[in-house]
């Protein structure tokens, strides 16, 4: 039995609580008030904390969790968060609660950013923080546009049925922008309408899947002629995929 539950935090963050028959882990606890309530109400045994990057809205709850559950191991990238006890690198393997996670370094949003990928009985999952979003990608704060592009290309190669658990409920705004890029994309229009219905009922739009991202997320579609054409016309740039991606990301920054 595997259960992955979104826990709301701040305005639009999701903390992910993953439970198997062997225990539970939490991914990116920016705060922990709601998380601790759920742990206590359901008598959950929390085993570990997984961190994708150093931003406070993904790490701010670590210390309080360690005070309450001092036995927890904290896994994460090489950064300035002293409470991370086990540092992870690209290509490394992490086994927790009976799950084998592969570590994928994905710099761009931050330089320390990593993702956790596991293929569980041919049902792959990805915890990708603020790099790949439903319908979009993260802002480039510390890295370069080229780094973010290369990171997304790593994720693009994962199995298409990979379920994507990212860190924010940004989907409606991301898809509004995507429709500006590809106004005639039928898959995108349907997805946007479906997402509107979900949010009207306060239902999370996550997880997404890589297959739907490949059809509707412009940041994974810099190789498509219609995306290249609109970007080259709007920004007078060439059709090099990295240039297309950079122009897309800068357009989104000002959208």
Catalytic residue of the set 28, 47, 54, 109: 109
Q: Tell me whether residue 194 is one of the annotated catalytic residues.
A: no
Whether the pLDDT of residue 237 is over 90: the answer is: no
Catalytic residue among 54, 57, 112, 113: 57
53 is catalytic: yes
Nearest-angstrom CA–CA distance, 136 and 21: 33
pLDDT in tens, 94-149: 999 999 999 999 999 999 999 999 999 999 999 999 999 999 999 999 999 999 99
C-alpha R_g of the chain: 18
Q: Which of 47, 55, 112, 113 is catalytic?
A: 55
pTM over 0.95: yes
Looking at residue 151, its pLDDT comes to 98
Q: Which residues contact 79 (CB under 8 A, 6 or more apart)?
A: 53, 54, 110, 112
Catalytic residue among 58, 184, 187, 194: 58
- Among residues of the chain, what percentage have pLDDT more than 90? 96
Tell me whether residue 113 is one of the annotated catalytic residues.
Answer: no
Q: DSSP state, 62?
A: H
195 CB-near residues (< 8 Å, 6+ apart): 135, 171, 172, 175, 205
Q: Which position has the higher pLDDT, 91 or 237?
A: 91
For all residues of the chain together, what is the average pLDDT? 96
Band (238; pLDDT cuts 50, 70, 90)? confident
3-169+196-211 has CATH 3.60.15.10 classification: yes
Residues contacting residue 4 through CB under 8 Å, at least 6 positions apart:
16, 17, 18, 19, 125, 165, 207
Q: What is the pLDDT of residue 239?
A: 75
Q: Residue 227: its pLDDT value, please?
A: 96
The question of whether 168 is a catalytic residue gets the answer yes
Instruction: Judge whether residue 236 has pLDDT over 90.
Output: no
Predicted pLDDT of residue 247: 95
Instruction: Clarify whether 100 is annotated catalytic.
Output: no
Q: Name every residue whose Cβ is closer than 8 Å to that of residue 147 and which is 6 or more positions away in sequence.
A: 107, 108, 140
pLDDT tens string 41-79 = 999 999 999 999 999 999 999 999 999 999 999 999 999
Judged by DSSP in three states, 205 sits in: coil
Of 53, 54, 112, 113, catalytic: 53
Q: Catalytic residue among 130, 184, 194, 197, which?
A: 130
pLDDT tens for 183-221 read 999 999 999 999 999 999 999 999 999 999 999 999 999
Is the distance from CB of 35 to CB of 42 less than 8 angstroms?
A: no
Under 8 Å between Cβ of 2 and 18: yes
Q: Estimate to the nearest angstrom the gap between the alpha carbon of 233 and the chain centroid.
A: 30
Residue 1's pLDDT is 83
């Amino acid at each position: 039995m595997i259960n992955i539950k979104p826990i709301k935090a701040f305005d639009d963050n999701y903390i992910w609580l993953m439970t198997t028959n062997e225990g539970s882990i939490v991914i990116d606890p920016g705060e922990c008030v709601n998380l601790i309530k759920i742990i206590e109400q359901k008598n959950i045994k929390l085993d570990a904390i997984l961190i994708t990057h150093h931003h406070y809205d993904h790490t701010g709850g670590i210390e309080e969790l360690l005070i309450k559950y001092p036995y927890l191991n904290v896994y994460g990238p090489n950064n300035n968060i002293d409470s991370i006890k086990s540092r992870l690198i690209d290509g490394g393997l992490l086994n927790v609660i009976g799950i084998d996670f592969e570590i994928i370094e994905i710099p761009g949003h931050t330089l320390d950013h990593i993702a956790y990928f596991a293929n569980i009985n041919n049902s792959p999952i990805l915890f990708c923080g603020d790099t790949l979003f439903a319908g979009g990608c993260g802002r480039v704060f510390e890295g370069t546009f080229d780094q973010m592009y290369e990171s997304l290309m790593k994720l693009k190669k994962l199995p298409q049925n990979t379920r994507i658990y990212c860190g924010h409920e940004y989907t409606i705004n991301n898809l509004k922008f995507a429709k500006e890029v590809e106004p005639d994309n039928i898959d995108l229009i349907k997805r946007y309408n479906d997402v509107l219905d979900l949010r009207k009922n306060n239902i999370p739009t996550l997880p997404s899947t890589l297959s739907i991202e490949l059809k509707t997320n412009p940041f994974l579609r810099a190789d498509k002629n219609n995306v290249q054409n609109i970007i080259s016309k709007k920004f007078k740039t060439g059709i090099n995929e990295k240039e297309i991606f950079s122009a897309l990301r800068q357009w989104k920054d000002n959208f």
